[in-house]
A = this chain, B = another copy of it.
Amino acid sequence: MPAMARGWPQPITIVIDVLRASSSLTVMFDRGAGRVFPVAGLDAARRTARELGALLVGERQGVPPDGFDLGNSPRKLRDMDFAGRDVVFTTSNGTAALENVRHSRQVLMGCFNNASACCRRALELARRHEAIIGLVCAGQDNAFALDDGVCAGFLVETLARLSPQPCQLSDAAKAMQRLHGSFGSALEAFEHTASGRNIRRVGDDPDLALCAAVDTSRAVPVLRPDGSLTA
């Protein structure tokens, strides 16, 4: 899902998988995680975690697969101490999205939790590199997800508010901004989405309010040339 940047060379890209990969990453870095290695496949994730002696974190169908140390519930991850630990992380949609944005000059992960911190960093990088900022929604099963779109709209608002110059917005950015404005709150939007329903189905309801909370974190996950995320 393009937003501000589609087709432009080497944008600063913010990847959004608000339910729940972006939010989980932010929480893990807040709790002291060192490097997080996003891995698309399950087998590769298990192998990489073994090789690195890293914690194995993630989900399929919303729950931790066999042999995983932890799932993809930011609420539960918040109770853990990641100090000095590396993590291998695999989710159904978020980690796959990261594979598609390697052409970017820099890739950040954004969500409601780190909205202002992430947008400040993106604006700073955009100014330094004379680049534009692109928002990429992870979506679900290769299709647009309302939750990510609403979060993209909020990040567009935040970028426009924090930018020292007036922002030029693409049609897609304007559309997401209006989409966000059409809901009373992020939590209300989450109720309308398949991702939101799935999270309730697996009993992780408290994650919805947690993922909807604005500016609870200053951690901005950044993709490094070696494929790991750090904050």
Contact = CB atoms under 8 A, between A and B. Distances in A.
Contacts of A144: 2, 6, 170-172, 175
A140 B171 CA distance: 10
A143 B182 contact: no
A178 interface: yes
Contacts of A149: 171, 175
A129 interface: no
A2 B175 CA distance: 14
The bracket for how many chain A residues form the interface is 20 to 34
This chain: how many copies in the complex? 2
Contacts of A103: none
A218 interface: no
A85 interface: no
Nearest to A143: B6
Contacts of A143: 2, 6-7, 170-172
A194 interface: yes
A226 interface: no
A120 to B, nearest CB: 26
Given A7-B143, A175-B179, 15 more contacts: A2-B143, A7-B141, A7-B142, A140-B171, A144-B170, A144-B171, A144-B172, A146-B171, A146-B175, A149-B175, A171-B194, A174-B192, A178-B179, A178-B182, A179-B179
